[in-house]
Amino acid sequence: MSTYQNICDLCRQRGITVSRLEKELGLSNGYVGHLRDVKHSPSYSRIALIADYFGVGIKSILDDQASGVEVRRVPLLGSAACGKPIEAVENVLGWEDFAIPRGCRDDFFALKMQGDSMSPEGSIAIAAYRPYADDGDIVIAKIGGDECCCKRFHKYADGIILQSVNPAYPPMYFSAKQVEDMPVTIIGKVVEVRTRYAYS
């Protein structure tokens, strides 16, 4: 079945209208309807948002013929702090379906967010394994080799800043020497954050 039909069926099963789904997820009015047009390529981040809303995998929503994309199972490795760093945990707790461009060579992992400095607590961040970051990227960083956090990365000539979105949390500054000695290492770039929706 088509992506459009799969979403309509999920709405029908839940007892809600498509317009209510669009409103609750902050999608533009008529977004789902546009998916009837086979020329209209779906936004895979929006499809992931819809999948999370219904508590289903991306594969159950995407048209089997969706071109240019593949769905991978990404390991959920534990938690990352969005406030103060917490001890890094790397046990596989579950799996997340993640749509990526076909042929992408990156490896990905997922972490559950703790704290409210970056996103609602309990959200799932999916990151590409990467030992570097560009200024402004949201990253998963290890501090001292044991503590893990999710922050926005800023690079300066004399060091780095790991910044929360929530202004209640002060920025974490590390000199170039601290980055090397502690060390502070980037282990991944966040490419998607998924919020879990409760429903009645």
Active site residues: 117, 151
Half-sphere exposure of 124 (CA within 13 A, CB side): 23
Residues 167, 152: Cα–Cα separation, whole Å:
12
- The 3-class secondary structure across the chain, one letter per residue, is CCHHHHHHHHHHHHCCCHHHHHHHHCCCCCHHHHCCCCCCCCCHHHHHHHHHHHCCCHHHCCCCCCCCEEEEEEEEEEEEECCCCEECCCCCCEEEEEEEECCCCCCEEEEEEECCCCCCCCCEEEEEECCCCCCCCEEEEEECCCEEEEEEEEEECCEEEEECCCCCCCCEEEEHHHHHHCCEEEEEEEEEEECCCCCC
Residue 106: HSE in the Cβ half-sphere, 13 Å Cα cutoff: 22
